[in-house]
A = this chain, B = another copy of it.
Amino acid sequence: MINLASDNVVGASREILDAIAAANMAPEASYGADRFSREAEARLSQIFERDVKMFLVATGTAANSLALAAFTPPWGAVFCHEESHIADDECGAPEMFTAGAKLVGIRGFAGKFSADDLEHTIKRFPRGVVKAVQPSLVSLSQVTECGTLYSLDEIKAVAAVARRYDIGVHMDGARFANALISIGCTPAELTWKAGVDVLSFGATKNGCLACEAVIFFDPAKAAHFEFRRKRSGHTLSKGRLFGAQMLAYLEKDLWLANARHANAMAKHLSEGFANIAGVRMPWKSEANEVFAIMPKRMADALSKAKIFAAPWYTHSISMPSGEQVKDNESFLRFVTSFATKADEIETVLKTARAA
């Protein structure tokens, strides 16, 4: 079986498991005060070249929702892509954590929106007009839901609009490491130097078991985070489980190595698909995801060979203009991970070619 439906169908890197085991028996302070979590914060401050405030939680949904709530009152508006993960895939968690703030979707190709689109949308919600929810935050996903990336200039342009309208900038970095490797800049350049205020720093998909960091580049904004985390049930009593994972994830650049491998596997796959007649890729594969429209019989052949991908949505508003999945076609998402093997990719391509 080759399962590329998501990068969360595999377990953890061996180093992560070892770290959990190594952190096990000695008594440690509870509720996030353990030394592993504290060291992880120090390590991230080095990596991001700035004193950050960091909190560990178990899921991306929790990380995003808590980050949003730190910037958005119940009468606030969070601007995001209309098909972003926070808008479409978290069952309303952001609304729960913010006590009912509004996520305002922005349309745009390939999971991205432009600075202009953002400004146009913000203007619909004038500051101080009581009937309008108040602009509070913009959230961009890096990597996006379409596997694409914002360039540094695009992020800076979005952040400039945000600053002009006095709202914060959140980056949903569930696949932050994959983005970083692709763009080839420093973590600081990809975030606060480009104007990002708070980052959901994903680790689960890239080699951990359950570990995401919310990173505040301005510690003042984190003032109430501990209460929000506790109150949402996301403060682990045996916090070492998170701390040990995050430390090992950063140790010896495991996070970068894992992402580099996953991205290479995706590149291998997308280059292979590009050479198979009948396969179209609506978006450039820029990280560790490959989206492919293919004949149904090719999809069936993969499935029969126990090669699993995720059926994707055909109503996507991020599609290239004119693109349409036909009745005899399937639209599939393939996601590679640290655990994907090169010969698995070969098998996928061989099977597809044969169909």
Using a CB–CB cutoff of 8 Å, the interface residues on chain A facing chain B are 1, 3, 6, 8-12, 17, 20-21, 23-31, 57-63, 65-66, 73-75, 88-93, 95-103, 105, 120, 123-124, 130-134, 204-205, 209-210, 224, 226-238, 240-241, 308, 313, 315, 339
Contacts and interface: CB of A to CB of B under 8 A. Distances in A.
B92 A133 contact: yes
Contact of A230 (B93, B98, B232): B93
A116 to B, nearest CB: 12
Given A92-B101, A102-B103, A233 B236 contact: no
Contacts of A91: 75, 130-133, 227, 230-231
Contacts of A24: 11-12, 17
A73 B29 contact: no
A227 to B, nearest CB: 4
Contacts of A26: 11
A91 B73 CA distance: 11
Contacts of A90: 131, 230-231, 233
A130 B230 contact: yes
Contacts of A65: 233
B233 A57 contact: yes
A253 to B, nearest CB: 21
Contact of A315 (B66, B101, B123, B234): B123
A3 B27 contact: yes
Given A11-B240, A99-B74, A124-B88, A58 B233 contact: yes
7 contacts: A31-B131, A75-B228, A88-B124, A95-B100, A96-B99, A98-B100, A130-B230
